[in-house]
Structure 1
């Protein structure tokens, strides 16, 4: 009668269905007890919790011989440890830095911090993608971009771009289009340059913006209106 709980070599299908219902309700209650933090963020401690819990409570659903008492008890213990660590992190800021990553500034005052990109293991392509997802296509409008502890990038635009827009004033505006990367990490992107300009023109723009050579430029982009963005390497 209680084969679904203790396990058996020939557990019937209805036994697996009962187990699935128990595990679903159990995990639902466990998440409710821990709070929404575990669902809305993916800090390292939350990711670890999700992986371990999924593996522990998933065993009885795949193996009919495995009893349910052990995995559910283990899940409750892991949930308790997770809740304890979350509570300690809330009360002790120093300990919080051990289990939670600090935000990393990737763009500061409009300049891409290349060393921080390497530290965070974020590629230029990933950065540009996240900026587009934040409706920040024009890099010249960005004041700060921060990699948050949950892995998402938040964007703070320059003040003058947070005020009245042309649309608010009833004026028309030219579409900026998709920004094209012309230089990345000190190298020409020939395929993109050939679509919008020439190497000679790019070199002229490099000189006009205070750089001696293409190797001094970490990133150069140009949008559909011809507006360019430059960010140099190191302290440039």
Structure 2
């Protein structure tokens, strides 16, 4: 009668269905007890918890001979450890730094910190993509860009770009469009430069923005209106 709980060779289909129902509501209860943080912010600790719980409770759903009591108990122990570490981290800030990554500033006062990008193992292309996803295509408007502990990048725009918009003032402005990278880590991107001018034109822009040569520039971009953004190597 309780084969679905104790396990049996040749467990009937309804036994697997009962197990699946029990596991589903059991995991639902665990998530409720742990709180919504596990659902909204997936950091390293939450990821480990999800992988372990899935492995513990997934096997008895496919192997009818395994008793269900052991995996359920192991899942409860794992959830208890996860909750204990989370609560302890709230009360002990120093311990929190061990289990949670500190935010990393990738852009400060409009300057891209390329050493921080390397530390976070983020390429320039991936960084620019994340900024575009945050509606920050114009780099001249960005004050701070921060890699949060859950892996997402938050953007803080400069004050003058925060409140009043051209739409609020009923102004017609040209679309800035997509920004192209002209220089990346001191290297000229020839294919992109040819879209806007020659190498002589690029050198003129480099000198115009206060640099002796492209090697001093970490990134230079240009949008479709011709506005240029530069960030030095140091």
Give the TM bin, normalised by the shorter chain: over 0.9
Alignment of 1:57-72 (within 5 A): 57-72=57-72
Report the counterpart of residue 94 of structure 1 in structure 2. 94
1:204-235 deviation digits (Å, cap 9, x = unpaired)? 1111111122111111111111101101112x
Matched residue, 2:137: 137
Superposed, which structure 2 residues align to 1:1-236 within 5 Å? 1-234=1-234
Question: Cα RMSD over matched residues?
Answer: 1.0
* Cα distance in structure 2, aligned partners of 1:211 and 1:63: 67
Aligned partners of 2:217 and 2:12: how far apart in 1?
66
Greater CA drift, 110-119 or 4-13: 4-13
CA shift for structure 1 position 150: 0.8
Shift, 1:163, TM fit: 2.7
Gaps of 5+ in 1: none
Question: What whole-Å deviation, never above 9, does each CA across 1:53-86 have from its counterpart, x for those lacking one?
Answer: 1111111112121111111100000000000000
Per-residue Cα deviation, 1:123-153 (whole angstroms, up to 9, x for no partner): 1111111111110000000000000111111
TM-score (norm 2): 0.97
Deviations 1:143-182 (A, max 9, x none): 0000011111110000111131211011101001011111
Name the SS of the counterpart of 2:201 in structure 1.
Answer: helix
Give me the whole-angstrom Cα distance separating, in 2, the residues matched to 1:13 and 1:215: 68
Question: 2:36, 2:228 → 1: CA distance?
Answer: 42
What are the Cα deviations for residues 81-136 of structure 1, in whole angstroms up to 9, with x where unaligned? 00000000001111111100001000000000111111111111111111111100
**How many residues matched?**
234
Q: Distance in 1 between matches of 2:69 and 2:7?
A: 10
Structure 2 regions of 5+ residues with no counterpart?
none
- Counterpart Cα distance in 2 of 1:204 and 1:9: 79
Contact 1:167 1:173 survives alignment (8 Å) = no
Alignment partners' CA distance in 2, 1:140 and 1:103? 22
Task: Find runs of 4+ consecutive structure 1 residues off by over 3 angstroms.
Answer: none
What's the CA shift for 1:183? 1.1
- What is the TM-score of this pair, normalised by structure 1? 0.96
